[in-house]
């Protein structure tokens, strides 16, 4: 669920998880509809030397509010739960995972105190059994705990000593920490891009506010492994009940320390199943269609960062793969860069169709920098394809045409429902509006519940589409997408009309003949496989050309001149009319030179 610290997840989440566990156990009476109410303010630290922890450089202050559900849907989405702040402004909560949340991080204390000042907060929600509930929590005194720095001896031991034989993690005392009201959480997780595994964690109140160390047993950590330990002090300033639910206000302070091999490396296969559509609403319910699959692709991506947070130039990165794989020997294409602080890249995003027959694709996949292997993984491609599941949702609407919930089932590539999903690491959903503006996001969904409840603020008319994502225990990622535009009957931007007697084939007065049975993939009788971008119009056509391995631009006015966006032959090129999918020649505009696909074909 939540972790103390993640490279991508708000660290305020751990406070919520901790209180769910600890307060539910401390108060005997649990409400029918809410099992936890909490507000909090906190500071985030990190430590990279024996001298102690310092505030994080980026958004080191946070605040949050949370109302946990005792059972799915026990707190109504209409009216939306909200918090009345000390200045009488209101903040509506958003449903995520198992409760209603507000989370925000800030650059400085002044902004934190301006946006979420100390004072009394009134929590308001409506339960299915309890009805309207309102109660207050007061957070005051700025009782932030001191930074939970590792002692110099403990920091140095983690950086230079053996890990496999066991270690003791020791921190400075929690100043003013008590043995009854305050507690300390410890969590150790692996360092890496994507999913991190929790190696060790303590329970709330297992370590009270007076303890200064914890022993990590032998065999839990590996020599040469990369890890991060996070320590958090919790100071309670008010504890009570609201509507029978456990409620608390507190200040928190955490510190995260990387140790061992702190470079980060990843290699991942990514599978994309897109172009699902929404059917017409019936009885406040919208079903979806995606089979037969018409737009499924996969790509290979990497993440590399050394222990000084440096990453390689993409021109130095190349992939290795089995001989039968299209990824063997190709160079990288960056999709994140220096401004994101990490080095990511991939080959041919959204280009290669997912193979139904995985023969010849299993084996060692690797990433090298300047010819030196940086990371590799063994891939059983048959298993990878078997784990490529399609998420098929059903959207349930309220009478006012807002989304009440989203139910879903999992199916394999042959449209058969799948119930055994123990290989799935997590499942997430993103509901987006125009220009992919996020309307709702949630992470680590339970596969067993197969349903999520959303905020009634999401009007179906504002929704453009849904994306589902999950990763597997083997570290590969999968996604399924649905878009309202897929339902729309758009004109053929290539100007084609049906060719009688040849099913799926169209003829265009300027783009010649092509097959559209797998639209937006087309098979052109000169160019072979091309993927026509959904944003294309008759005036501006973008297509991924599988043979060229690049995106191209053209329209009726420019053709037979096309513009190639990348690679050795980027720029305007002329395509000859006697080309065939397996023998294509082009002439560059800038220097008049010829090139072929495949390369080095004889010109005669």
Q: Is 118 helix (H, G, I), strand (E, B) or coil?
A: coil
* Rounded mean pLDDT, 442-464: 69
Q: What is the predicted pLDDT for the residue at 457?
A: 66
Burial of 33 (0-12, 13-18, 19+ CB in 10 A): buried
Percent of the chain whose pLDDT exceeds 70 = 83
CA pair distance 568, 397, nearest whole angstrom = 51
* Rounded mean pLDDT, 505-514: 90
Q: What is the predicted pLDDT for the residue at 69?
A: 87
CA pair distance 416, 124, nearest whole angstrom = 44
| Cβ count near 102 (within 10 Å) | 19
- Residue pLDDT, tens place only, 357-380: 677 788 898 888 888 888 888 888
Q: What is the predicted pLDDT for the residue at 41?
A: 95
Strand-pair category, 497-498 with 285-286 = unpaired
pLDDT at 343 over 50: no
**If you count them, how many residues does the chain have?**
604
| Cβ count near 31 (within 10 Å) | 23
Which residues does 85 contact at the CB level (< 8 Å), separation at least 6? Answer: 91, 116, 117, 119, 121
Phi/psi for 574 (5° steps) reads -100, 130
pLDDT at 468 over 60: yes
pLDDT at 233 over 80: yes
Got the DSSP string for 266-313? EEEEEEEEEEEEEPPPBTTEE-EE-PSP--EEEEEEEEEE-TTS----
Question: In the numeric block, which tokens belong to residue 581?
Answer: 């999918």
Strand order in the sheet with 119-127: 90-92, 82-84, 119-127, 131-139
CA pair distance 336, 324, nearest whole angstrom = 28
Banded pLDDT at 456 (limits 50, 70, 90) = low
- Residue pLDDT, tens place only, 3-52: 233 223 345 444 444 454 444 444 444 447 998 898 999 999 999 999 99
pLDDT at 246 over 70: yes
Q: What is the predicted pLDDT for the residue at 309?
A: 60
Question: In the numeric block, which tokens belong to residue 248?
Answer: 């608390």
Q: What is the predicted pLDDT for the residue at 36?
A: 82
* Rounded mean pLDDT, 303-308: 67
Q: Is 236 helix (H, G, I), strand (E, B) or coil?
A: strand
CA pair distance 66, 261, nearest whole angstrom = 36
pLDDT at 401 over 90: no
What average pLDDT does the structure give for the chain?
81
- Among 212-221, 320-329, 444-453, name the one with the lowest average pLDDT: 444-453
Q: What is the predicted pLDDT for the residue at 440?
A: 80
Q: What is the predicted pLDDT for the residue at 444?
A: 62
């Amino acid at each position: 669920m939540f972790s103390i610290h993640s490279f991508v997840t708000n660290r305020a989440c751990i406070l919520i998880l901790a209180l769910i566990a600890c307060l539910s156990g401390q108060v005997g009476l649990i409400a029918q509809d809410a099992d936890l109410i909490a507000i909090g303010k906190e500071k985030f630290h990190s430590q990279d030397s024996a001298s102690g922890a310092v505030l994080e450089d980026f958004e080191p202050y946070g605040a949050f509010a949370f109302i946990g559900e005792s059972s799915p849907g026990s707190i109504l989405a209409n009216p939306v739960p909200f918090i009345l702040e000390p200045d009488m402004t209101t903040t509506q909560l958003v449903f995520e995972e198992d409760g209603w949340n507000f989370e925000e991080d800030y650059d400085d204390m002044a902004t934190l105190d301006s946006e979420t000042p100390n004072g009394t907060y009134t929590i308001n929600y409506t339960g299915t059994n309890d009805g309207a509930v309102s109660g207050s929590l007061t957070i005051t005194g700025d009782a932030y705990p001191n930074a939970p720095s590792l002692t110099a001896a403990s920091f140095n031991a983690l950086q230079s000593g053996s890990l496999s034989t066991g270690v003791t993690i020791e921190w400075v005392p929690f100043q003013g920490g008590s043995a009854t009201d305050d507690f300390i959480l410890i969590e150790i997780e692996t360092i890496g891009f994507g999913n991190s595994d929790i190696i060790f964690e303590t329970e709330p109140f297992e370590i009270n506010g007076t303890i200064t160390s914890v022993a990590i047993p032998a065999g839990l950590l590996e020599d040469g492994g990369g890890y991060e330990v996070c320590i958090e002090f919790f100071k309670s300033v008010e504890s009570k009940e609201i509507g029978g639910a456990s409620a608390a206000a507190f200040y928190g302070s955490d510190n995260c320390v990387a140790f061992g091999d702190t470079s980060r490396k990843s290699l991942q296969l990514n599978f994309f199943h897109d172009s699902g559509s929404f059917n017409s609403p019936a009885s406040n319910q919208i079903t979806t269609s995606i089979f037969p699959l018409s737009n499924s692709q996969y790509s290979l991506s990497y993440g590399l960062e050394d222990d000084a947070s440096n990453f390689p130039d993409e021109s130095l990165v190349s992939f290795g793969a089995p001989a039968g794989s299209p990824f063997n020997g190709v160079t990288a294409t960056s999709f994140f860069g220096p401004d994101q602080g990490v080095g990511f890249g991939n080959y041919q995003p959204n280009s290669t169709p997912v193979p139904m027959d995985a023969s010849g694709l299993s084996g060692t996949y690797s990433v090298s920098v300047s010819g030196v292997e940086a990371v590799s993984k063994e891939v059983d491609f048959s298993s990878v394809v078997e784990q490529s599941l399609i998420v098929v949702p059903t959207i349930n609407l309220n009478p006012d045409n807002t989304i009440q919930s989203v139910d879903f089932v999992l199916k394999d590539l042959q449209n058969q429902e799948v119930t055994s999903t123990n290989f799935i690491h997590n499942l997430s959903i993103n509901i987006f509006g125009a220009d992919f503006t996020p309307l709702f996001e949630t992470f680590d969904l339970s596969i067993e519940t197969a349903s999520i409840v959303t905020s009634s603020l999401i009007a179906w008319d504002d929704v453009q589409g849904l994306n589902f994502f999950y990763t597997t225990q083997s570290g590969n990622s999968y996604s399924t997408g649905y878009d309202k535009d897929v339902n729309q009957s758009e004109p053929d931007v290539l100007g084609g009309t049906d060719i009688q007697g040849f099913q799926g084939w169209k003829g265009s007065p300027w783009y010649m003949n092509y097959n559209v049975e797998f639209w937006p993939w087309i098979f052109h009788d000169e160019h072979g496989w091309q993927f026509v971008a959904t944003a294309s119009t008759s005036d501006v056509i973008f297509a991924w050309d599988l043979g060229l391995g690049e995106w191209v631009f053209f329209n009726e006015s420019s053709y037979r001149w096309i513009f190639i966006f990348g690679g050795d032959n980027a720029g305007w090129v002329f395509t000859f009319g006697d080309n065939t999918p397996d023998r294509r020649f082009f002439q560059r505009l800038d220097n008049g030179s010829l090139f072929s696909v495949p390369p080095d074909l004889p010109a005669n």
